[in-house]
């Protein structure tokens, strides 16, 4: 705590001049003592301070009662301040504890909410993958490709897992297989068409060659 905002500043600025002392000069002695003895002392330090102030007074050097009252007032104000600080710190600790508890409860509530939402999504996915809830296209797709992989061992394993719910991953895999087969079919058809075009071109070429040969033969006979 600085001397500028000390809890004794206001009191000392009034009482010290009334006792014949310059407040600006002697107030730091009192506030310094108070800062060093917030938790109390044996009284000797305060007695020594009172002796110094009394001896320095220009008007109340012989007024022992005035200095006894000053001593008593300083002790009372110090005790009130310490008590108030203790209560303030306790209240601050309670506020921090309450804030921490509230934040923790928010995190717990959020975690619980997220867990409920995740479980709800899982249940919705399980329901959507039940046969009775599937669309006709999805059922047809899974009937064609759901468990095909061209491997006898995997077929045996899939037979044992046929009761497992069909996931979106299964559907995607099936659609990929369907697209792959379509592409293979298109490629096969394209190759067949190319072979047919080549064969037709060869046949046309042979026909034209034969036609030229016949024309040439007729010309030779006429000659």
Q: Which of 63-72, 165-174, 177-186 bottoms out in mean pLDDT, i.e. has the lowest?
A: 165-174
Q: What pLDDT does 35 receive?
A: 85
Write down the pLDDT at residue 18.
Answer: 95
Q: Which whole number is the average pLDDT over 37-42? A: 67
* Rounded (5°) CA angle 204-208-210: 115
Query: 148 versus 165: which is more confidently predicted?
Result: 165
Least confident range from 25-39, 75-89, 207-221: namely 207-221
Of the candidates 42, 44, 16, which has an alpha carbon nearest to the alpha carbon of residue 29? 16
pLDDT of residue 40: 63
In degrees, rounded to 5, the angle at the alpha carbon of residue 4 between the alpha carbons of residues 2 and 5 is 80
Calculate what percentage of the chain has a pLDDT beyond 90: 32
Q: How confident is the model at residue 162 (pLDDT cuts 50, 70, 90)?
A: very low
The residues, any chain, with a CB within 8 Å of residue 7's CB and separated by 6 or more, are: 1, 34, 77, 81
At 194 the pLDDT is 76
What does the alpha-carbon distance between residue 176 and residue 174 come to, in Å, rounded to a whole number?
5
Q: The tokens 């301070």 sit on which residue?
A: 49
pLDDT band for position 132 (cuts 50, 70, 90): low
Instruction: Retrieve residue 21's tokens.
Output: 């002392």
Alpha carbon distances (Å) from 155 to 54, 83, 130, 220: 107, 82, 21, 74
The CA–CA distances, whole Å, from 149 to 50, 79, 165, 173, 187 equal: 101, 87, 18, 10, 21
Query: Lowest mean pLDDT: which of 25-34, 84-93, 143-152, 184-193?
Result: 143-152
Average pLDDT over residues 110-129: 87
Contacts of 28 (CB under 8 A, 6+ apart): 3
pLDDT at res. 157: 45
| pLDDT score for 53 | 95
pLDDT digits (tens, 9 = 90+) for 42-101: 567 889 999 999 999 999 999 999 999 999 999 999 889 888 888 888 888 888 988 998
Does the pLDDT at position 19 exceed 60? yes
Average the pLDDT over each of 12-16, 22-26, 153-157, 192-196 and give the range with the smallest value.
153-157
Neighbours of 34 (CB within 10 A): 22
2 phi, psi to nearest 5 deg: -85, 160
169 by Cβ neighbours in 10 Å (0-12 / 13-18 / 19+) ranks as exposed
Q: Are 19 and 66 in contact (CB under 8 A)?
A: yes
Q: Which of 136, 152, 145 is nearest to 170 (CA)?
A: 145
pLDDT digits (tens, 9 = 90+) for 3-18: 457 999 999 999 999 9
Residue whose structure tokens are 């500028």: 4
Of residues 59 and 2, more confidence is placed in: 59
């Amino acid at each position: 705590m600085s001397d500028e905002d000390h809890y004794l500043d206001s009191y000392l600025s009034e009482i010290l001049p009334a006792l014949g002392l310059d407040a600006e000069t002697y107030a730091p002695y009192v506030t310094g003592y108070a800062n060093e003895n917030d938790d109390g002392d044996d009284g000797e330090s305060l007695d020594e301070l009172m002796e110094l102030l009394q001896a320095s007074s220009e008007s109340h050097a012989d007024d022992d009662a005035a200095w006894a009252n000053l001593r008593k007032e300083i002790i009372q104000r110090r005790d009130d301040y310490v008590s108030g600080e203790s209560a303030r710190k306790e209240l601050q600790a309670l506020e921090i504890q309450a804030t921490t508890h509230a934040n923790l409860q928010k995190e717990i509530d959020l975690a619980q909410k997220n867990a409920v939402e995740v479980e709800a999504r899982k249940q919705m996915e399980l329901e959507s993958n039940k046969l009775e809830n599937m669309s006709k296209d999805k059922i047809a797709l899974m009937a064609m490709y759901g468990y095909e992989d061209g491997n006898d061992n995997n077929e045996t394993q899939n037979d044992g897992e046929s009761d497992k719910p069909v996931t979106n991953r299964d559907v995607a895999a099936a659609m990929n297989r369907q697209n792959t087969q379509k592409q293979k079919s298109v490629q096969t058809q394209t190759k067949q068409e190319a072979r047919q075009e080549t064969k037709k071109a060869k046949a046309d070429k042979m026909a034209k060659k034969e036609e030229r040969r016949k024309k040439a033969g007729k010309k030779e006979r006429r000659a």
